[in-house]
Structure 1
Amino acid sequence: MEHLLETASTSSTAEAVKNRMLQHDAFSKLLGLEVQEVGAGYCRLRFTVRPDMLNGFAALHGGVTFAAADSAFAFACNSHGRQSVGLTVTIDYLEAGKLGDVITVEAREESLKHKVGVYQVRATNQHGVVLALFKGTAYRTSNEIL
């Protein structure tokens, strides 16, 4: 029972942090990111590829994919209630998104220490094809978010 209460508490913290972050996150709103689920060290969001997100070859611009992955990373690493900032990130682009694709971006915590967290982020289309793999390392400040 104690574990169940702890999980509910961490989920409510993650939800409150997400709401606070979204109040001031104009860029995620510009991209049309819909945060579907957050939890301790976790975020799943999605967006639909619009014409203004395409590059000169009619493929999803890598910067959009990167930005969506970075947003999922931010929600996941801040979900514990301590302000976190990205230290390093890398991304591997595996496939190109196309106009009208519904992209799901899922961030998962791989390691959490006192000062550093490591996260893996996957971007997939509506057919389950992996478009990109993103890895982020976050520095956890001592600043409480809530």
Structure 2
Amino acid sequence: MSQPQATSSSSKAEAVKDRMLHHDAFSKLLGLEIDEVGPGYCRLHFTVRPDMLNGFAALHGGVTFSAADSAFAFACNSHGRQSVGLTVTIDYLEAGKLGDVITVEAREESLKHKVGVYQIRATNQHGTVLALFKGTAYRTNNEIL
């Protein structure tokens, strides 16, 4: 019996993702491609373009942060209750470079009635960890669907 609920939860996560993406011009601007979503989970990727580089020809930290924040948003809203970020932190470990394919993976670490905690990793195509992002989300009572 747990399998149908898993399917239902995955379907809900997909429906939430579709609704969010429909209104998310910024994720589209970054070229984020959602690879997978599920309850408390999101994996996406993007390719580093010239307009994403800083003055030292490295991936701008704001782009990395924004991609991680988007993965966080898809993961924390995947249960169907509108969630908003309470606090986030990011540690930059390596710089991305032009042409890199960056994968960003968000995983739920804890889910309570009002608060969820998520760990997000950004890696390049070689598996090098570029950044570690932690997000805490406040779960409102508003149902998304």
What TM-score range do you get, normalising by the shorter chain?
A: over 0.9
Structure 2: which 5+ residue stretches go unaligned?
none
C-alpha separation between the residues in 1 aligned to 2:12 and 2:139?
A: 16
1:123 equivalent in structure 2: 122
2:63 equivalent in structure 1: 64
1:3 equivalent in structure 2: 2
Secondary structure of the residue that 2:54 maps to in structure 1? coil
Structure 1: which 5+ residue stretches go unaligned?
none
2:43 equivalent in structure 1: 44
Q: CA deviation at 1:98?
A: 0.1
Matched length? 145
Give TM-score, length-normalised by structure 1.
0.99
Q: CA deviation at 1:41?
A: 0.0
1:34 equivalent in structure 2: 33
Q: CA deviation at 1:95?
A: 0.1
2:85 equivalent in structure 1: 86
C-alpha separation between the residues in 1 aligned to 2:136 and 2:8?
A: 25
Give TM-score, length-normalised by structure 2.
1.00
Q: CA deviation at 1:46?
A: 0.2
Deviations 1:97-146 (A, max 9, x none): 00000000000000000000000000000000000000000000000000
Q: CA deviation at 1:59?
A: 0.1
Secondary structure of the residue that 1:121 maps to in structure 2? strand
C-alpha separation between the residues in 2 aligned to 1:53 and 1:144?
A: 35
Moved segments of 4+, more than 3 Å: none
C-alpha separation between the residues in 1 aligned to 2:9 and 2:45?
A: 22
